[in-house]
Structure 1
């Protein structure tokens, strides 16, 4: 009885061992199969993606044709008979004669050079007035001769006036411009001055005082007959 009990106890333990070994082997086989499958999946290249072709459907109506180019208008060509218009001829300007009472202007350089009116020879002293000998040509030349004599006289008196004005001028400026009109008596005495005012009141006062002193102290040579007023524009420098 004791021997049978021991046999019954040893048999189940041996069967159990066999079952455990079989389970371990089965698990190893499953793991190996799973590893082989994963290796095959990872090593297999992926299939290329399929490209889908896009098809565009054209409209049923065609596009409108382009607009026609603009037509060139032919230019009218000049005919051979057409002549250019004659150029406009400007009328010659007429020089108006100077009025008899207009003052003689002296704004050029001082000096006693030849006058542009002093052409030709003069046989005798001209005393003024209309000449009675010589006809129409002599009468028309009389104003020109008279004008030339007055221009020459103004050129002669110009440096005398500048010297006298500078001697009596008292001003702080080193240089002033004096523009004035001068009236003379028959003996060369200065009747009066008329100063053209400028922009500086002090300079005008100094010039007016110098002109007053010059009128009282200066006597010029006797002027020609019917001498008109003379207008001067002098650049003067104070001497004091």
Structure 2
């Protein structure tokens, strides 16, 4: 699986942020987020959003295609599946092989028959009643890696902002700060190890995974260290 160029992710994030600052319908922003997630996250083929209501119902918003909408609705009909678990209970649900995962014996094989091999769902919420999940589908088993997880969580955060479920100004500022930090860190790694941008970004992701720290934290530490060294 090839690493996603940082510039592609940054451009997608910038487009979403811009849409939030303009008088655009929420539905259009959500469609932009799911489409951007499917186009820029490594291995992801389709994306959608599951939303619960105060009455306990659940529905799909902004699917990138009819196949992913069908996969979501299968979960609602069968009362089992990753997007249900993420929207109602767990913060992140990862499925490496839908066809054989014993957690969802009815949904898994049906999803595989639709052409999906793996899936990840990220929860976001508006307390105390309404919750939702960003659903990302890959075409083959084990089609997800740590790049997919890190980047998917960033897009899930943008959905919460778009729906007014988070403090928009604070979250947008944090998103832009994170993007700038990662960009600076990529530049440092490129210069230090003579790597291109794709390999430098992949290096940061692997470092984040091995240290069990968020990508933003790893980038901030690298930038701070470089700044301190420059002062000496």
Mark yes or no: TM-score above 0.5: no
Structure with the higher helix share, 1 or 2: 2
Larger Rg: 1
**TM-score, normalization by structure 2:** 0.27
Higher strand share: 2
**Which one has more relative contact order, counting CA pairs under 8 Å at least 6 apart?**
1
TM-score, normalising length from structure 1? 0.26
